[in-house]
Every structure is written in structure tokens, then in C-alpha cells.
Structure 1
Amino acid sequence: MRQSYALHVNGTAYTIEADEDMPLLYALRDDLGLNNPRFGCGLAQCGACTVHLHGQPIRSCVTPVSAVGDGKVVTLAGLGTPEQPHPLQTAFVEEQVPQCGYCINGWIMTAAAFLRDNAKPTDAQIRDALEGLKCRCGTHVAIIRAVKRAAMS
């Protein structure tokens, strides 16, 4: 049964009509027209759909829109702007991480939450924090460099 849901995404309030079990990912992409997060596996295994809810990274492909409540959702587009990019966005460009770019959403959103709580992480801590994310292009080494660069900025 469709219901009305109020969503706060990237600082803007929206109201959508949706079934309670519809994934947040579908609301963000289909109802709000956002280009990120991405649909990857649909099983919370790859991370392409990662967003922040209450400041914590979640997999939006398995999070029902009804579970968001009054939480603040932040997507990759909400981390920074072209004029003021988030340090991770800058570092990913400087380290030339993106190849196909499909997975970047998950890596940056997960790393942003991690770096907020870990200002000077070791390589091992970065690897542990990013465990479970997938990049089929194999840019993992560049991703680690970019996260370290962002941590130093």
C-alpha cells in the first residue's frame, strides 16, 4: 500500500508516494532523479548504493524507504559542490582513481564516514573500513592513496 514519506536529502525536503518496502535507492534515483547512488548488486554486497543516514553509511538498495523516518540522507552529490568539493572528491581526482566510475559512490561515501571518526588512519585501518566494497576496474591501490591524501588534507 502506497503511503506518503517525507525525505530530507542533501539538505532539501521532499515528499514522495511509495510502498513501505520500496528501497531507498529507488526513491533517490526514480522519484528524486538523483544520478547517485548507483544500483550495483541489489544485495548490499558491492556498496555502489551507499548513502549516509544519520551520518552513517548504509546500503540504500536494502534499506526500505519506511525505515528512513526523519533521518537526514546525504548522497555523494551532497558531500560537496563543484566549487567546494569534499576532500575525498578532490583526492580521488588527484589520484586519478575513477576508471569507469560506477563504484566511486560507495568508496567515497564509506570513506567519508570513516575519516570523520579517524583523522589519521593507517593503511590497515583504511583497508578494514573499506572491506566489502567492490571495484571491478581494480583501482584499489589508488583508492587507498586517495583516502590517505584526503586524511592529510
Structure 2
Amino acid sequence: MTKTSAHSLFSLKVNGRNVVVEADPKTPLLYILRNDLELNGPKYGCGLGECGACCILIDGRAVRSCTVPIAAVARRAITTLEGLGDEEHLHPVQQAFIEESGAQCGYCLNGMIISSVALLGRNPDPEEADIREALRHNLCRCGTHIEILAAVRKAVLLSKAASSASALCAIPETQA
């Protein structure tokens, strides 16, 4: 006799969209994102939360989705690589990784970008040591570490420029 696990419905907010999925409560969020929602930014790397390829943002914090059961994230804000920007309006971190050639094979790219976005969300002007600390658990086998660090430093500048531009646009004109 085989034991079947009970499936439940889960309401998720993924990339600003409300979705409902049916799954075993213990199902890793990574499987739901990739298989059910067809979001391929997070990658399966090790399945143990060691490599960072599966990183996503949950409430703005970088989390390894391969170790998070779906039952733990209901009604929380989940952002994947696909939710950071679009083809016309890239997130500053995405733009910086392109400009600095911060990828070779691209497998670690998702985790590197997500971890960088989380870092800049909590520290908009990180020191080199802060960047290295934020990325130290993301593995890159191709050896593009120098380009990745340059991309994060560039993202800091692009983020500041975007913030300045937004602030200028928000300043109301004075009436004469």
C-alpha cells in the first residue's frame, strides 16, 4: 500500500501577480516556480541551498527557493529574476551585469543578481567587503568573479542615477 500526500491550494504573490497553485505543502518553492509557473530564472543547482542558483526574493530578502516549502510562503511577496524588470526597463543590477559582462555560462547569474538586488535594497551604498559578503554563498564555476564584483559596483552607480532621476521628476514646478 502506498501513502499519498495531501495536496492543498496555496495563494502566492509572485512578481506582483496573485496566483493559486495546488501542491503538497512540503514541495520546494523552486519546483512550483519552474514547473507550475514556468519561471526559469531560478535554477536547480544543488538542491541543498548551497550554491545560490535558485535564489529569489521573499519580502525583499534573498532566499534559496530549493529549501523553502511552499507552505512557508503563502501570501508573501515573491520576486524572481523575471520580476525585476522587463526588456525595455531593466533593473539597474540587470543592466550592470550586461554592461560589465558579469556572466559566462550564466548558471549562477540568477543567484548573483538576486543577491545583489537584496544587498542594494538593504544597503544602497555598500563597500567592497559588503558586496563580497553578500555574494560569498553564490557559487560561480566559470570564474567571472571579477566581472561580477564590477557589475555590482556599477549597479550601485546606476541605482543612484535612477534614484536621482526619479527625484528630479518628482519635484513639482514652482509657479511664478
- TM-score, normalised on structure 1? 0.98
Q: Measure the CA separation in 1 of the matches of 2:151 and 2:73.
A: 30
The equivalent of 2:81 in structure 1 is 76
User: How far does residue 54 in structure 1 lie from its aligned partner after superposition?
Assistant: 1.1
Identity %: 48
Match of 1:29 in 2: 34
Deviation string for 1:82-130 (max 9, x for gaps)?
1000001000000011111111000000110101121221111110111
Structure 1: 5+ residue runs without aligned partners? none
- Who is 2:173 aligned against? none
Structure 2 unaligned segments of length 5 or more: list them. Answer: 1-5, 159-176
Q: Deviations over 1:47-95 (max 9, x none)?
A: 0000011111110000000000210100001011110000010000000
Structure with greater Cα Rg: 2
Q: For the aligned residues, what is the CA RMSD? A: 0.7
Which SS does the other structure have where 2:116 is aligned? helix
Which consecutive aligned stretches of 4+ in structure 1 deviate over 3 angstroms post-superposition? none
Residue 122 of structure 2 is aligned to residue 95 of structure 1: no
Deviation, structure 1 residue 8? 0.9
Distance 2:38 2:126 in 1: 35
CA distance in 2, matches of 1:150, 1:30: 31
TM-score relative to the length of structure 2: 0.85
